[in-house]
Amino acid sequence: MRASLIQIAVDEGETTEARRLRAASLVREQAGADLVVLPELWTTGAFAFEAFGDGAEPLEGPTYEAMAKAAGDAGVWLHAGSIPERAADGQLYNTSLVFSPSGDLAAAYRKIHRFGFDKGEAVLMGAGHELVTVRLPGTTLGVATCYDLRFPELFRSLVDAGAETLVVPAGWPERRRSHWTLLAQARAVENQAFVLACGTAGTHAGVPQAGHSIVVDPWGEVLAEAGADEEVLTVEFDPAKVARTREQFPALKDRVLGLETPRR
Ligand SMILES: O=C(O)CCC(=O)C(=O)O
């Protein structure tokens, strides 16, 4: 399986429309790949909180249209990263879109864990509540977004739902890059799954982005890692390695569920 992670730069000098056109053209250039991944909130920037309102789109808005067409033109599965979605009731969500090679929407995932504690995304956007997996030929994707990476129970639930390849678009900041790399490897090792984590490059809202998109195999080995700048990270991997790893080192079978909290 060939995957291309498009670590696009999100800088304020470029308009959303220009970046959308550029992203669509980068997706088309990946024709021949099986799966293409874009990062989180690449139209506005994950830290450009004041742009979320104006940059918000209905689910089937301009980014949906452009990405559906690009996926169909390239004939690839496309995880188009996430958009600030404005739902019919006006609520904003950080929503990821996955398209099939015919350009049809295969899944939409509203980010469950919102980042910012008492500000930013955590107060501006609503929380998703649904796990999302997507069946591809040869593997099942489990979908999560950025800050979700810090919550292992979400990934375990995705594994229980059949996920073998965990796809994590992000807008991760440079100042916590060591956590990004460590957590991507941890999620791969503990779930015996591939992790494809695609970040952004550039600086927006004064926050330098980490870049360093990374692909980790079910044994925790880093198959490919990008640098800090805009880059397309392409990697070949064998999805059957998930089943082999889980069979040869069957740690997932030793889970003990339903532990009780001790009474004091
Ligand atoms: O968890 C982190 O350190 C970064 C999370 C983040 O930037 C996000 O979810 O947008």
pLDDT, tens digit (0-9, with 9 covering 90-100), for 172-183 = 999 999 999 999
Ligand 1 binding pocket includes 172 (Cβ within 6 Å)? yes
The architecture of the domain spanning 2-252 is 4-Layer Sandwich (3.60)
Ligand 1 binding pocket includes 119 (Cβ within 6 Å)? no
pLDDT above 90 (res 264): no
Residue indicated by tokens 């991760």? 172
The Cα–Cα gap between 38 and 110 comes to: 16
Mean pLDDT of 247-261: 95
Average pLDDT, the chain: 98
Mean pLDDT of 28-46: 98
Cα atoms found within 13 Å of the Cα of residue 112, Cβ hemisphere only: 17
pLDDT above 90 (res 104): yes
Mean pLDDT of 157-184: 98
Q: For the chain, how big is the Rg over CA atoms in Å?
A: 18
What pLDDT is stored for residue 233 in this prediction?
A: 98
Ligand 1 binding pocket includes 125 (Cβ within 6 Å)? no
Residue 81: how many CB atoms within 10 A of its CB? 29
Q: What residue ranges do the domains of the chain occupy?
A: 2-252
pLDDT bucket at 231, cuts 50 / 70 / 90 = very high
What's the CA-to-centroid distance between 189 and ligand 1, angstroms? Answer: 21
What pLDDT is stored for residue 106 in this prediction?
A: 98
Distances (CA, A) of 90 to 27, 72, 123, 179: 30, 30, 14, 34
3-state secondary structure of 247: helix
What's the CA-to-centroid distance between 183 and ligand 1, angstroms? Answer: 12
Three-state SS string over 74-88 comes to: HCCEEEEEEEEEECC
Structure token pair of residue 162: 């059949």
* DSSP 8-state secondary structure symbol assigned to residue 17: H
Distances (CA, A) of 75 to 7, 26, 36, 78: 20, 13, 10, 9
Is residue 225 within 8 A of residue 23, CB to CB? The reply is: no
Q: What is the pLDDT of residues 179-227, one digit of tens each?
A: 999 999 999 999 999 999 999 999 999 999 999 999 999 999 999 999 9
Structure token pair of residue 177: 């890059």
Is residue 188 within 8 A of residue 218, CB to CB? The reply is: yes
Ligand 1 binding pocket includes 47 (Cβ within 6 Å)? no
pLDDT above 70 covers what percent of the chain?
Answer: 100
Ligand 1 binding pocket includes 210 (Cβ within 6 Å)? no
The closest of 7, 196, 169, 197 to 81, measured between CA atoms, is: 169
Query: Is 253 an annotated catalytic residue?
Result: no
Q: Of the residues 92, 94, 115, 149, which should be mutated to test ligand 1's pocket, given the most ligand atoms within 8 Å of the CB?
A: 115
Structure token pair of residue 87: 């739902």
What pLDDT is stored for residue 263 in this prediction?
A: 87
The dihedral of CA 247, 251, 254, 255: what is its sign?
negative
The Cα–Cα gap between 94 and 37 comes to: 16
The closest of 222, 98, 253, 84 to 160, measured between CA atoms, is: 253
Consecutive H or E run containing 194: strand 194-198
Atom of ligand 1 nearest to the CA of 113: 9
Distances (CA, A) of 110 to 21, 41, 86, 243: 24, 12, 11, 28
Structure token pair of residue 28: 């088309």
